[in-house]
Amino acid sequence: MTEFLQTLTSGVALGSLYAVLALGFVIVARASGILNLAQGSFVVLGAYLAYALIHQAGLPFWAGVMVAMAAVALFAVLLEAFVLHRVSDHFAALLVTFGVTIAVAPVITGIWPGDSLNLGDPWALSVLRIGGIGITARDATLIPITAVLLLGFFLFFRYTRVGLSLRATAIDSEAAMAQGVSTRFVYGISWGIAGALGAFGGIMLSTTVGGGVRPGLEVYAFLALPVIILGGLESPLGAVVGGLIIGIVQQFAVSLVPESWGSGFSEVVPYLVMLAILLIRPAGLFGRREVRRA
């Protein structure tokens, strides 16, 4: 039983991380209608900037995190305003965002070389024991933070003017404009939030228990893409539920599967789940089939 709960807990932690990463995609998809593969660059930038601020500039951990998130949010806003703004169709937008991540990642890892840099997080390798279940200190913080984040999103979208503007623009940008909503502002906010989320995800991924600040972080952003298949490209709730499901399934799969299935199985599970979903229910859990009428 404890083993079950143990796996479940680590699954929830992993799922929270996936949810955060996936939310970044969802926010931009709702605003700009594109799959923003530059999210990968936000993850990388967040992790490495936090490292630079904490380790090199000597900022306290959480200050470094905040500043890094803000900086990446700014980067995202500028990216949308100066690059994506010029792109007129979804096809090119996807490729352009892909290009951004491809270009940014090697530059960042070139500036800060190393297989695993120490982020200097307060959790280090400490593990808490709650009722016989071990949970890393990082996860113990991550899960509540994610929950708070999500609650914040829910309230934000439902009850604030800005949140309503975002939803209105997603549904009908012309009507929203007619009501005085500035689409530029909406895009800016959405991308900024996505940048901050990506940075946060990147930082969490590169804590000591995560493996340190290292090359290849952008691939983790892509690992969140199956969540989108599961939860739908434009559903925040789908991102959360999908993330949790995939995280939990992944941890259970890893624990149940024999050694002979080899290394790297863990990282492949989300994609296998994705293929399974596509077989059974292509629209995912929350996305509705594109309203293709007849």
Partner 1 sequence: MTLTTTGAALARHARGRAPRLFDTPLKKILAIAFLVAIIAIPLNVADSYILTVLTTAAIAAIAATGLNLLTGYAGQISLGHAFFVGAGAFCGQVLGGQLGLPFLLWLPLSALFAGALGAVVAPFALRLKGPYLAIVSLGLVFIGIYAARNLPTLTGGLNGTVVTAPVSIGVLDFAALRVGPFLLSREQGMFILCWLVLAVILLAVANIVRSRSGRAMQAFRDHDLAAEVLGARRLPTMMNAFIVSSALGGLSGGLLGVELQYIRPENFGLDLSIQYVAIVVIGGLASIWGPVLGALFIGLVPVIAIRLADVLPFISKPGEQGGVSVSGFGLVVYGVLIVVFLLFRRGGLISFFRRPGRRRPLAPATTQAAAAASPPDPAPGITTHEEGHSL
Q: 112: buried, middle or exposed (CB in 10 Å: 19+, 13-18, 0-12)?
A: middle
Q: Which of 105, 189, 205, 248 binds partner 1 (CB under 8 A)?
A: 105
Q: Three-state DSSP class for 127?
A: strand
State the virtual CA torsion across 79, 81, 82, 84 in degrees, nearest 10. Answer: 70
Shortest Cβ distance from residue 126 to partner 1 (Å)? 31
Q: Three-state DSSP class for 224?
A: coil
Rounded to the nearest angstrom, the gap between the alpha carbon of residue 241 and the centroid of all alpha carbons in its chain is: 13
**Binding range to partner 1, per CB under 8 A, among 13-21, 45-53, 68-76, 99-107:** 99-107
Binders of partner 1 among 259-288, rule CB under 8 A?
261-265, 267-268, 270-272, 274-275, 278-279, 282-283, 286-288
Shortest Cβ distance from residue 110 to partner 1 (Å)? 4
**Binding range to partner 1, per CB under 8 A, among 65-73, 104-112, 136-144, 178-186:** 104-112
Binders of partner 1 among 72-91, rule CB under 8 A?
83, 86-91
- How far apart CA 207 and CA 230 sit, in angstroms, is 27
- Give the H or E element holding residue 133: strand 133-136
**In the stretch 149-168, what mask flags binding to partner 1 with x, by CB under 8 A?**
-x--xx--xx--------x-
Closest to partner 1 by CB, 1 or 178: 178
Quick check: 145 binds partner 1 (CB under 8 A)? no
- Report which DSSP code applies to 116: S
Closest to partner 1 by CB, 59 or 108: 108
8 A C-beta contact, residue 80 and residue 188:
yes
Q: Which of 54, 77, 104, 245 binds partner 1 (CB under 8 A)?
A: 104
Binders of partner 1 among 9-68, rule CB under 8 A?
26, 30, 33-35, 37
State the virtual CA torsion across 89, 93, 268, 123 in degrees, nearest 10. Answer: -140
8 A C-beta contact, residue 15 and residue 248:
yes
- Give the H or E element holding residue 185: helix 183-205
Shortest Cβ distance from residue 158 to partner 1 (Å)? 7
Closest to partner 1 by CB, 222 or 252: 222
Binders of partner 1 among 228-247, rule CB under 8 A?
228-229, 232-238
Binders of partner 1 among 167-226, rule CB under 8 A?
167, 170-172, 174-175, 219, 222, 225-226
| Gap between the terminal Cα atoms of the chain | 50
Q: Which of 50, 67, 96, 135 binds partner 1 (CB under 8 A)?
A: 96
Paired tokens of 178: 């007619």
